[in-house]
Amino acid sequence: MSSNHINNHNRQRYSEMTSHHSSINNNDHVYQVGKLTSIALLVGTTSLALLGCQSSPAVSSPAASKSMIDFSTADSAQSQAQRRAFNASLTAKAERYQQLFDQEKYPNTDNQAKSHLLAAIRQHLATEHVAVSQANYQAVPFIAPDSIDAGSSSLLRTIIEAYVYKPDGDYDESDYEDRQTEAMAELAAVSAESNKCNDNEDDDAYEVCVVEDVNYDENGYSRSDYQSESYGEGNYDTDDYESDSAFSKLSKLNPKSMIEQYEAVQMAKQQPEDVEQDSQSATSTGVIGQMLSMFHRTPEQIAASNAYQYQNLTFNSVSQYKPKQRQLQSVYSYDYVTPTISSSIQIPLAFDFNHSKVTVDPSAIMPIVALVNPENTPLPNQKTSHTVSFGLPESITTQLPPAVLYDAAIAAIQSSMAELAPEHFSAVDIHNDAFAKEVGASRAVKVYFGSKQSGEMIGKTLKYMTKSLQDYVDANPQKYPDGAMLKTALAKVQLYNKGYQSADVGSLLQLIEAIGPISFNQINYYYLDRSDRLLAKQQRVNIGGDLMGSTTSVLNQIRYDKSSFNNHALTPLLTESFGANAKAAIDGNAWMAEQRQQKDRLQTARDARYDYSGSSDDDYGSDYADGDSGYDAAEYDSADSQDDTDIEDDADNRVDDQ
């Protein structure tokens, strides 16, 4: 049967069926027409939508057909033209593909910003420059009051509260108070007995009256009570100890109990806040709950900190960087200024990597040193210079010269930043940036360092520094033979570096940030001129966490122009401390060696005196007569010296007792 006959037959059946249905259901004709029309519109709309998602066939595109080779024709001129068009199409397609993914040859906006910044940093670290910085502080609530997270606790605090939670009835403070009262009464009785013992005139001066069988721990309870009540002599029970340990609860934890305790904590928080409920809540969470409440800052406390502290507090510094000499000289100042009070702590500090020295002015910490070591702390008028220099021991510098370590660190920082993804570098609009106008910048680049980027930088820097130091060791085999300490350590670090990728360090910091009590990130703005010279930098560091209830933002603005440096109030102190006409610094290594020698002499004198006081009468007389007593009386310190008469009387009494 032919296809035409089949089609005619189908059309005939369709006409008969249509006529039949029309005669039966003529009243629904309008409804059927509307339904069919709606279906047609729906199908048409869907087809148009899908048409844009489908791949067009090659024959449907005239542009595509021109670039295709038609093998059905034998015309050589047409074939050559088609081949040329085909090759041109391949070249254009490859070039477009490279433009999408080859960011070195065809950089996008982020890559261009990264390229400008890396060029500026390389030039900046290779040339001598000065810097002036000022940092200001501000605290804000960790969670904004209008945030959806307002009123919610962090995961870490929730876990801590659920872990330490106990129902109110589980606490019995009366037993604790009774034991404390009993211990204090017993301690008073022992003190009275001890005083009675010390009043005995017949006791020898060198003997100590000891109350036996009563030893107290640091909490005031007697150990004899512990032994009689809990352990007994020789009957130590580890179960009793583990039952009192806070960590013994770890073995009893399970998801069900933690969920139940979490629900109990949250229900307790929903109760009306009155004095009784606050007391019950503090009791339920114990000391840890009270500590968490103490650390958490309220919005009123944060506002007070900004108004009375941070608004008047600045951290200033001036620095001078000399890359060829590998020197960095700075003066740091911590200033608090109000209309009624003004205070400033200034500390000059310099690093000299070529000579392995650190020079500092210790005047700011001299009061603390005087409290710890008053005898060896010089007065301001006794110092020949107000700076002190400390050098690394030769045993360290011969193994690893600080200059090599410095070069490795500088190169590692640049290489690590160059490997960061371009999306972390963004060109920003500076038309309304007041700081950019002050420094005369032409462009600015924003670099975001969150926990992931910071960790990745740490990992890459460590690996690059290890590689640089390994290259230095390999280039000096005579200095680092097999078995050398540095060579062995670097080999071990290289082995560890193979077991992780730099991004893993960032993931680890993200995990710590997610469950830890701290949240941090850095936002850096670098301001450049038209020749990619670094003019200034603005850094914002956010430090805080839910346990503290606040985030402290540190905004640090750094200028690299000489005009700001020359006009700054700290520059004269920098010149006085480290300038060409500055006084030579005090040798801190020699001063420390002298202190150690003096301490050793005093200890030798004490040991000799103790040996002398315990000798017999004949030994004492012979040693004293020969003038060889084993010690020098001039080395006695004022606190331990005694009269010769007292020493002789004490020695005679000891001989009589024996």
In 3D, which of 409, 414, 323, 449 has the Cα closest to residue 120?
414
Residue 644 has pLDDT above 70, yes or no: no
Query: How confident is the model at residue 446, as a pLDDT?
Result: 96
Read off the pLDDT of each residue in 435-452 and give the average, rounded to a whole number. Answer: 94
318 within 8 A of 561, measured Cβ to Cβ: no
At 511, list the tokens. 């995990």
Q: What is the pLDDT of residues 166-200, one digit of tens each?
A: 765 444 545 445 555 655 665 565 555 555 554 55
Q: What is the pLDDT of residues 329-388, one digit of tens each?
A: 999 999 999 989 999 999 999 999 999 999 999 887 788 777 877 777 777 777 778 899
Q: What is the pLDDT of residues 525-562, one digit of tens each?
A: 999 999 999 999 999 998 888 878 888 999 999 999 99
Read off the pLDDT of each residue in 497-503 and give the average, rounded to a whole number. Answer: 93
Q: What is the pLDDT of residues 188-234, one digit of tens each?
A: 655 555 555 545 544 444 444 444 444 444 444 444 444 444 444 44
Residue 144 has pLDDT above 90, yes or no: no
Q: What is the pLDDT of residues 391-405, one digit of tens each?
A: 998 888 988 999 999
At 86, list the tokens. 């085909």
Residue 627 has pLDDT above 50, yes or no: no
Choose the weakest-confidence range: 21-35, 84-98, 430-444: 21-35
Query: How confident is the model at residue 243, as a pLDDT?
Result: 44
Residue entry with tokens 């030798």? 604
Task: Please tell me the distance from the alpha carbon of residue 314 to that of residue 413, in angstroms, as a whole number.
Answer: 28
Highest mean pLDDT of the ranges 13-17, 65-69, 183-187, 311-315? 311-315
Residue 641 has pLDDT above 50, yes or no: no
pTM here is 0.67
Query: How confident is the model at residue 624, as a pLDDT?
Result: 45
With left for phi above 0 and alpha for psi between -120 and 50, is residue 357 left, alpha or beta?
beta
Average pLDDT, the chain: 76
* Sign, CA torsion 374/379/383/386: positive
Task: Please tell me the distance from the alpha carbon of residue 345 to that of residue 333, in angstroms, as a whole number.
Answer: 5
294 within 8 A of 196, measured Cβ to Cβ: no
Read off the pLDDT of each residue in 597-626 and give the average, rounded to a whole number. Answer: 69
Residue 464 has pLDDT above 60, yes or no: yes
558 within 8 A of 129, measured Cβ to Cβ: no
Q: What share of the chain in percent tops pLDDT 70?
A: 66
Residue 426 has pLDDT above 90, yes or no: yes
Task: Please tell me the distance from the alpha carbon of residue 592 to that of residue 388, in angstroms, as a whole number.
Answer: 11
Amino acid present at 318: V
Q: What share of the chain in percent tops pLDDT 90?
A: 36
Read off the pLDDT of each residue in 554-579 and give the average, rounded to a whole number. Answer: 95
